[in-house]
Chain A
Amino acid sequence: MQAKVYVTLKNGVLDPQGKAIHHAAETIGYRGLTDVRQGKFFEIKLDETLDAETARIEIEKFAHDVLSNPVIEDYRVEIVG
């Protein structure tokens, strides 16, 4: 079992890295990109004995307390079998 955690900047928080990538992409010639936001992605291997619900609770807590900073970031958790 595996957990995937996506951490992204909240709407409205300036993302200079995303902006730089967006700008560069346009300079290189990629068309139709209206915005780029950069985030973080975590792959977490889980103990197979854990049931999905317990795993979700544990990972949600981990994502909230450690992997993200609620002041600027949102997160989303996926548990995949």
Chain B
Amino acid sequence: MKFGVVVFPGSNCDHDTYHVISKVLGQPVDFIWHKDERIDGYDAIILPGGFSYGDYLRTGAIARFSPVMRSVKGFAASGGLVLGICNGFQILCEAGLLPGTLLRNRDLKFICEHVNVRVERTDTPFTVSYRKGQVLSIPIAHGDGNYFCDIDTLRELESDGRIIFRYCDARGEATDAANPNGSLANIAGICNRERNVVGLMPHPERASESLLGSNDGRLLFLSLATSLSEMLKLRA
């Protein structure tokens, strides 16, 4: 199995994601330059955090026009696993791979802190190693993480079980006080209809080593690896 981490010129969590996959997970991984159009040979693609092209217009607005994103769309359409973290989530929304968008945080400030996130669904390739309802401690670091979509889309996300993570308090209650940025329905992460594309604002790669305080994000990468080896077995 092989992971690809896309590098936009303003990506800044690319090395962190690479580090977790190679050193913590022990899996092969490459950087993929945003100008590359070919992404053959990868089993999962990760769009890391950062400020893709400066993000002066809107977060992720320019990135979706990059050559690599055309290929990522094709890869997703053919069932490939795509994970967008933070800026990666914003790009996936702009590119139409996930519905909705991420607005400026409710209090207008950039927020960097550990938050509690509840695992809503374990029936995605990204969350199989979690328990449903498990409360994770994972950092967020964003200025635009306030998830928004129209009411029909929200209904569809709810009814299809596509809300994967919600902000919650320490006891797992998705209260307004536990919502750091004003996201609709406390949404921290969602998936597409086919469940092979997931985007989330929290940074699992920053919570994958006990030295950094939390290990709770590691299971997301572990889920990904487990799912991939299952898929590869089936294919073989």
- In the complex they form, whether A and B have CB atoms below 8 Å apart is answered with yes
B: residues with CB less than 8 A from A are 57-58, 61-62, 65, 93-94, 100-101, 103-108, 146, 148-150, 182
Q: Is the CB of A69 within 8 A of B101?
A: yes
Cβ contact of A71, chosen from B105, B148, B182, cutoff 8 A = B148
Instruction: Map CB proximity to B onto A9-42 as digits: 1 under 8 Å, 0 otherwise.
Output: 0000110110010000000000000000000100
Q: Is the CB of B58 within 8 A of A69?
A: yes
Cβ contact of B57, chosen from A20, A66, A71, cutoff 8 A = A66
**Can you name 9 extra interface pairs (CB under 8 A) apart from A16-B146, A69-B94?**
A14-B103, A16-B105, A16-B182, A20-B108, A40-B57, A66-B62, A72-B101, A72-B103, A72-B148
Q: Which residues of A contact B100 (CB under 8 A)?
A: 71
Q: Which residues of B contact A13 (CB under 8 A)?
A: 103, 148
A71 to chain B, nearest CB (A): 5
Interface flag for A67 (CB, 8 Å)? yes
A69 to chain B, nearest CB (A): 6
| Closest residue of A by beta carbon distance from B60 | A69
Interface positions, chain A 60-81, Cβ under 8 Å from B, are 66-67, 69, 71-72
Max chain A C-beta neighbours (<10 A), residue from B58, B93, B104, B150 = B58
Show 18 residue pairs from A and B whose CB-CB distance is below 8 angstroms, ordered by the A residue: A13-B103, A14-B148, A16-B103, A16-B105, A16-B108, A16-B146, A16-B182, A17-B108, A20-B108, A66-B57, A66-B62, A69-B61, A71-B93, A71-B100, A71-B101, A71-B148, A71-B149, A72-B103
